[in-house]
Amino acid sequence: MDFSELLNRQTKQYSDKTAIIFRESRVSFKELRDASFKVAAGLSHLKISRSEKVAIFLPNIPEYIFSFLGIYLLRGVSVPLDFMLTEEEITNFIRHSESKVLIAQEKRGIGFNNIRSKCPTLKKIIIFGQSGPAISGKEGFLPWDGFLKESQSSSLSAEVNEKDHSSIFYTSGSTGHPKGVLLNYGHLKNPIECFEYFLSLTDKDVLMCAGVPFSHLGGLDHLLLMLYFGVTLVLMERFQPLEFLKNIEKHKVTLFCIVPSMYVAVLSLKEYDKFDLSSLRYAVVFGAPSSPVLLERFHKACPNAYLLNGWGMTETSAPNTYLPTGTNTKEIPNTGKFPPGTEAKLVDDKGGPLGDEKDGELLIRGKCVMCGYYKEPELTKQAVTKDGWLCTGDIARRDKLGRYAIVGRKKEMIKVSGEIVFCPEVEEVIHRHPKVGEVAVIGVPDKLRGELPKAFIVLKEGENSSEEELRYFLREHLAHFKIPHYFEFTSELPKNRVGKIDKEKLRQG
């Protein structure tokens, strides 16, 4: 992608149109372009050039977007870091990525002096926020405003090569071991092409980033869609269910992308049905298997909107599948087709091909597949075959129409006395119980049967239930070996930064 050409073109067409709404402030497309070029000029002044790494440690604010684009204008490599990271984690990622500059907002518990002293490649830390002026003149530090004042050029650009590396996204996936997913500039086209294929976006649309962190590829996707389609982006620093609904009504939002647990939080609000959601054209769910019951409840409030279930991974420059618009809502949960240019197949445990209506590991091949794991050649070889197939670790099923349904992760496949149980299948059935708000199912070791399912249940507000009541309900819908052996009622389930249920924490107890 040529970000210089794209920013200039969109500014020429949409100059004074609002590009970003953040709280009570607005940023026009012209202001977006100018700020991005200033960041690029400032980084150039700090001797940042093609393929050099710049880390970003900011919450979801407009300056994160300016930083991304400034790096991309120089054909540098962005290293977005989650704002929830500890000082030790930030240090490890900067050392691993060999970042030369860090753009950051000060945060309690984070010692940037310590980080700089432990990272030999880190030459400068740019501090955004109220404390910025206090570090003016301090060796190795620059306040954000001072950084921008030194940036005067408005015509910076670099030769475009789609194979140049663009980003390193650190993801632990389901392994718990952080890996740096290396993407190139060609990969940044994938979310745009996918949305262009499955949806009909226009410059009249209003897109909301409902707290999906920019440190995740799903967050960056919002920036790319805003810029390419000329839509207005409503930016939330963090997900707040009530604020989410207020924003839809106030700004006439037409599209958002959230994970299933966010739907749960929205639907649990007493005020939920008091908001006007009629502006919605698309409501996207991604990141985890979704409950048909939840989607149907939400759809009642916006019957004219298409509900789309998305699938993708950082390793496949997500997203990758949706059902095309116009599909019956009842068919949506966990199903989708791949766009042109992406191949998919299912294989058994030995790598042999599987036909329709069979459960197997999903393999992906195409231009969407990552360059590899940064500095991890052995991990890359394990993940990507010699002929280019990415082993996703997801178990899927394909129907006769070529649609794929994600059944669960390999790690979420439990063997109970030799019988296969998929945790998402059990969760979906438990979700149907009218008293259940949230649920997570994991496998726990058992000496006699290998593993047994355990369900963690969050009841809806004001509801009471028991293990016996749920067992009685499940007997009507599940084979006996799929019914959880253990039930634990809890007030909340642990979540990661994207809002997905953190099953690793549940397994660790």
Domain containing residue 498: CATH number: 3.30.300.30
Say whether both 428 and 405 belong to one domain.
Answer: no
Domain identity same for 401 and 421: no
439-484: pLDDT as tens digits: 999 999 988 888 999 999 999 999 999 999 999 999 999 989 999 9
Pair 353, 450 in one domain? no
- Cβ neighbours of 173 (radius 10 Å): 16
Per-residue pLDDT, 407: 81
Domain assignment of residue 182, yes or no: no
| 427 belongs to a structural domain | yes
Output the domain CATH number for residue 352.
3.40.50.12780
- pLDDT tens for 401-433 read 888 888 878 888 888 887 888 898 899 899 999
- pLDDT tens string 265-297: 898 898 888 999 999 999 888 876 677 777 778
Reduce the DSSP state of residue 60 to 3 states and report it. coil
Asked if residue 414 lies in contact with residue 451, where contact means CB atoms within 8 angstroms, the answer is: yes
Is residue 403 domain-shared with residue 425, that is, in the same domain? no
178 within a domain of the structure (yes/no): no
Write down the pLDDT at residue 51. Answer: 94
Residue 216 inside a domain? The answer is yes
Final residue of a structural domain among 363, 378, 409: 409
The pair of structure tokens assigned to 382 is 């394990």
pLDDT tens for residues 24-42?
Answer: 999 999 999 999 999 999 9
Residue 168 domain-assigned (yes or no):
no
My answer on whether 207 and 67 are in the same domain is no
Express as a percent the part of the chain with pLDDT over 90.
65
CA neighbours within 13 Å on the CB side: how many for 363?
21
Residues 242 and 297 in one domain: yes
173 dihedral zone (left: phi>0; alpha: psi -120 to 50; beta) = left
Is-contact 321 337, C-beta < 8 A? yes
Of 159, 176, 209, the one marking the end of a domain is: 159
Facing residues of 233 across strands? 20, 207
- Assess whether 206 and 329 both reside in one domain: yes
Same domain for 381 and 269: yes
42 and 75, same domain (yes or no): yes
Mean of pLDDT values over 354-380: 95
Q: Which domain holds residue 487?
A: 417-508
Look-up of token digits 């009507």: 476
Give the model's confidence band at 509: pLDDT under 50 very low, under 70 low, under 90 confident, else very high.
Answer: confident
pLDDT, residue 198, reads 86
Beta strand 53-57 with 486-489 is unpaired
- pLDDT score for 175: 47
Given a cut of 90, whether residue 254 has pLDDT beyond it is yes
> b/e for 227-238, b at 16 or more Cβ within 10 A?
bbbbbbbbbbbe
Burial track 308-330 (b if 16+ CB lie within 10 A, e otherwise)? bbbbbbbbbbbbbbbbeeebebe
Decide: 111 and 81 in contact? Cβ < 8 Å. no
Could you tell me the CATH number of the domain that includes residue 34? 3.40.50.980
What is the predicted pLDDT for the residue at 374?
A: 98
Total structural domains within the chain: 3
Q: Give pLDDT, residue 152.
A: 61
Rounded mean pLDDT of the chain? 90
pLDDT for 499: 82
Q: Which residue has the tokens 């718990």?
A: 176
Asked if pLDDT for residue 100 goes beyond 90, the answer is: yes
Mean pLDDT of the 324-333 span: 50
DSSP 141-205: EEEHHHHHHT---S-------TTSEEEEEEE-TTTTS-EEEEEETTTTHHHHHHHHHH----TT-
Model pLDDT, residue 325: 45
Q: What is the pLDDT of residues 50-73, one digit of tens each?
A: 999 999 999 999 999 999 999 999
Residue 105 pLDDT exceeds 60: yes
Phi, psi of 38 (to 5 degrees): -65, -40
Close Cβ partners of 434 (under 8 Å, ≥ 6 residues apart): none
pLDDT of residue 413: 83
pLDDT in tens, 148-179: 876 665 566 667 899 999 999 998 654 456 79
Highest-pLDDT range among 322-326, 338-342, 444-448, 466-470 = 466-470
- Say if residue 217 is in the same domain as residue 327: yes
* Same domain? 383 vs 477: no
Rounded Cα–Cα distance for residues 398 and 323 (Å)? 13
User: In this structure, is residue 363 part of a structural domain?
Assistant: yes
The pTM assigned to this predicted structure is 0.87
Q: Among 375, 409, 443, where does a domain finish?
A: 409
Mean pLDDT of 119-144: 84
Residues 451 and 399 in one domain: no
Examine residue 275 and state whether it is found in any structural domain, yes or no: yes
pLDDT average, residue stretch 203-211:
96
The answer to the question of residue 10 being in a domain is no
CA distance 65 to 167: 14
Higher-confidence residue of 340 and 183: namely 183
